[in-house]
Amino acid sequence: MIRSSLLAWHFLTIIPLGTASHVQSTPRELASSMQWYPAVGLMIGGTLVAGNALFEMAFTPDLTALLVLCVLVVLTGGLHQDGLADTIDGLGKRGSPAERLAVMKDGSIGAFGATGLLLALGLRFAGILHLPGADRLLLLLCMPVIGRWAMVVATFGSSHARPAGGLASDFFQELRLRDVLWATIWAGVLLCGAVGWQAAGLFLGLGAVSARGMVFAFSRVFGGITGDVLGAINEVTEILFLLAAPSILMLVVF
């Protein structure tokens, strides 16, 4: 259990913790670690909350929101932003799924990817800036939870667009239903504790629709999904969360 959670932490952040990152992991161990993604999301969210509390003592709201965004990107090593940019570059390529995947595998970022990444960061910034004050910290705490849970939902039962290899193939081939159930339990408990069961249910519904909807759409374009696509799903789901959360909380209240 401890090793599995450490694997999830090392995969989703750049901060070393324990020795799990230095030991060769089996495909099943990597896939099983996804059950801990929401818990890692909670720790990432806690870091954002701490950063927000620190920054707002010295800076204006807009600069505080920008610095919180910087903390998120640095803490995760830009992993999901890179996936989003590569996915958008692939979508912008006209051609067969194989040609689109080749563009995504290229290490350089294209015009489509750069533009999409800039827009995504802008939406994140606006979403963080305009979170309602009374619920701001709770929503910052929940945002990474729902994004990483969406990645688990997207992975289960999906086809890998590059079945011949790649680290992501281990997740697609070895992820089991019980891993998804544990991830869902984690996400549900954490969200219920933060915003109550009604809002938690709506947030989970938003994450599930976002994840499976993008799996359906991207599978038609790429012939499956990849690790880059999972990163894009995390990004889009978290942006949708930021934009929808204030309205969802108002709906629950009234």
| Contact indicator for 236, 214 with CB cutoff of 8 Å | yes
pLDDT in tens, 196-234: 999 999 999 999 999 999 999 999 999 999 999 999 999
Tens of pLDDT along 59-78?
999 999 999 999 999 999 99
Give the distance from CA 224 to its chain's centroid: 18
- Per-residue pLDDT band at 33 (split at 50, 70, 90): very high
Q: Would you call 58 helix, strand, or coil by DSSP? A: coil
Instruction: Give the model confidence (pLDDT) of 94-152 as tens digits.
Output: 889 999 999 998 878 999 999 999 999 999 999 999 999 889 999 999 999 999 999 99
Average pLDDT over residues 7-24: 77
How many CB atoms are located within 10 Å of the residue 191 CB? 26
Q: What is the pLDDT of residue 2?
A: 80
254 pLDDT higher than 60: no
- Residue 208 has what DSSP assignment? H
What was the pLDDT predicted at 191?
Answer: 96
Q: Alpha carbon 66 to chain centroid distance?
A: 19
- Are 155 and 214 in contact, with CB atoms under 8 Å apart? no
pLDDT in tens, 158-201: 989 886 666 678 889 899 999 999 999 999 999 999 999 999 99
Domain boundaries, the chain: 2-246
